[in-house]
């Protein structure tokens, strides 16, 4: 059961990041975005290494890593 509901609940992170792409980069926290990138990198590896592999969780964290990386480019290219 946790191999399904955990990843389903986690999909809120990348969905929120994709939704915020329409917003101004001024509202994005660079520190939080960086933390979420590293968080997703760590748990993407965990989802692959655990037995049985949790590919739904790995896909969620891979998507979140991409979304947060796009947000990081937006926020850090905006700042002087």
15-60 pLDDT, tens digit per residue, is 999 999 999 999 999 999 999 999 999 999 999 999 999 899 999 9
Structure tokens at 22: 């329409």
| Tally of domains in the chain | 1
- Split at pLDDT 50, 70, 90, the class of 4 is confident
Give the pLDDT score at 80: 67
- Split at pLDDT 50, 70, 90, the class of 6 is confident
Residues 6+ apart with CB under 8 A from 13: 36, 40, 60, 64, 67
Q: How far apart are CA 72 and CA 51, in angstroms?
A: 32
**Mean pLDDT calculated for residue range 4-14:** 88
Q: Are 52 and 3 in contact (CB under 8 A)?
A: yes
**Residue numbers of the domain that contains 52:** 2-78
């Amino acid at each position: 059961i946790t191999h399904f509901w955990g990843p389903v609940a986690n999909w809120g992170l990348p969905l929120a990041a994709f939704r915020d792409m329409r917003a101004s980069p001024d509202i994005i926290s660079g520190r939080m975005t960086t933390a979420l990138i590293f968080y997703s990198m760590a748990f993407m590896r965990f989802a692959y290494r655990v037995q049985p592999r949790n590919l739904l969780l790995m896909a969620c964290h891979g998507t979140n890593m991409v979304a947060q990386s796009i947000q990081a480019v937006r926020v850090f290219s905006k700042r002087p």
